Structure 1
Amino acid sequence: MTTLVIGANGQIGKQFCELAQQAGTPVKAMIRSEEQAPWFKERGINTVIGDLEGDFEHAFEGCDQVVFTAGSGPHTGPDKTLMIDLFGAIRTADVAKKKGLSRYIMISAMRSEAPLEAPEKMRPYMAAKFAADVHLRNSGLSYVILKPGRLTDEAASQQFANSFDEAGDNQISRANVAYALLHTVKTPSVINQEYLLLDGQRPIGDIIQ
Structure 2
Amino acid sequence: MENILVVGATGTTGRKIVNLLRTSQYFEPIAMVRKESQIKEFSDQDIKTVLGNLEEDVSHTLSNIDKVVFAAGSGGKKVVEVDQEGAKKIIDASKNHTIKKFVMLSSMGADQPEKATELKDYLQAKHNADEYLKASNVPYAIVRPGSLTNEKGTGKIEIGQALQKQGSISRDDVALVLTRTLHDDSAANRSFEILSGDVLIGKALDSISNR
Report the TM-score, using the length of structure 1 for normalisation: 0.91
Please report how far the alpha carbon of residue 116 of structure 1 lies from its aligned counterpart in structure 2 after TM superposition: 2.6
Aligned twin of 1:108: 106
Q: Which residues of 2 match residues 23-172 of structure 1 at below 5 A?
A: 23-24=24-25, 25-74=27-76, 76=77, 80-120=78-118, 122-163=119-160, 170-172=167-169
Give the gaps of 5 or more residues in structure 1. Answer: none
Higher strand share: 2
User: What is the CA-CA distance between 1:168 and the residue it aligns to?
Assistant: 7.6
1:112, 1:43 → 2: CA distance? 35
Indicate the structure with greater helix content: 1
Cα drift, residue 119 of structure 1: 2.9
Q: Aligned to 2:32, what secondary structure does the other structure show?
A: strand
1:166 and 1:90, CA in 2 relative to 1: closer, same or farther beyond 3 A?
closer
CA distance in 2, matches of 1:50, 1:22: 24
Distance 2:203 2:133 in 1: 25
Aligned match of 2:21:
20
Verify the 8 A CA contact 2:88 2:133 in the aligned structure 1.
yes
| In structure 2, distance between residues paired with 1:194 and 1:9 | 25
Identical-pair percentage: 33
Distance across 1 between alignment mates of 2:193 and 2:131? 16
Corresponding residue of 1:179? 176
Q: Which residue of 2 aligns with 1:10?
A: 11
Aligned residue for 1:162, secondary structure, equals: strand
Amino acid at match of 1:159: K
Unpaired segments ≥5 residues, structure 2? 207-211
1:52 aligned partner, one-letter code: L
Please say if residues 156 and 201 of structure 2, whose CA atoms lie closer than 8 Å, have aligned partners that are also in contact: yes
Look up the equivalent residue of 2:174 and give its one-letter code.
V
State the superposition RMSD in angstroms: 1.9
Moved over 4 A (4+): 163-169
Deviations 1:171-192 (A, max 9, x none): 011111001111112x212321
Q: In structure 2, what is the Cα distance between the partners aligned to 1:206 and 1:12?
A: 22
C-alpha separation between the residues in 2 aligned to 1:114 and 1:133? 12
> Structure 1 residues 49 and 148 mapped into 2: Cα distance closer, same or farther (>3 Å)?
same
1:64 is displaced (CA, Å) by 0.7
User: Secondary structure at the residue paired with 2:69?
Assistant: strand
Instruction: Answer whether contact 1:167 1:199 (CA < 8 A) is retained.
Output: no
Evaluate the alpha carbon distance shift between residue 63 and residue 157 of structure 1 in structure 2; reply closer, same or farther with a 3 A threshold. Answer: same
* Residues 161, 192 of structure 2: 8 Å contact kept: no
CA apart distance, 1:167? 10
Instruction: Give the total of aligned pairs.
Output: 203
CA spacing shift, 1:167–1:176, aligned 2, 3 Å:
farther
